[in-house]
A and B are shown apart, each in its own frame.
Chain A
């Protein structure tokens, strides 16, 4: 069954800790994305990657890091430098064409205690 899998679904973090959110896709998509969702603010782009071993900062990249060592995997690390990390995080992928549909994972809800 093709799709995008995010884990964990819920995550609690103490202040000062780094956490890594997993995102795996078996759609053979070239492009992958991480979005942050806060109430009333829509979806904001954190990082995106067009191809393996390449990624670009989005609008709110500060305090986050990513890697793209494999086509199917795009993990996001929320570092201690992110001042307000409590949010819902969505991973997505697309074919990367000029009008490609975004396919989203189920999301990961991070709460800082």
Chain B
């Protein structure tokens, strides 16, 4: 079946450094790729998304890139801050009401 692989499962960076999380999807029909941030004990919240007709999208310190040929997309966080510490989930969506989530990356930003 369809799946989304996410790496790494944990990531520790020094404050001010960049963090990159990568996801690979299997469903060629996927056309929407959101990223969610989940702080401890809280609900996942959308932080950025990208559609299949776009290769890159930026929002302040956060960017997402998409390579449709290779079926992978990545989240880039620059100038990391302690409040960026959370679990990040990627997902693929093909318009059939089924979002396929990655297994999550626990990001720790060390002060």
What residues of chain A have their CB less than 8 Å away from a CB belonging to chain B?
31, 33, 35, 40-45, 48, 50, 56, 58-59, 90, 96, 98-99, 101-102, 104-107
A19 to B67, CA, bound (A): 44
Q: Which of B14-48 contact A (CB under 8 A)?
A: 31-32, 34, 36, 42-46
- State whether A105 and B98 are in contact (beta carbons under 8 Å apart), knowing that A40-B103, A99-B51 are contacts in the complex: no
B: interface residue count bin: 20 to 34
Give the tally of cross-chain contacts (CB within 8 A): 55
Interface stretch of the complex, out of B55-63, B72-80, B89-97: B89-97
A103 to B63, CA, bound (A): 21
- State whether A101 and B97 are in contact (beta carbons under 8 Å apart), knowing that A42-B89, A107-B43 are contacts in the complex: no
Closest residue of A by beta carbon distance from B6 = A42
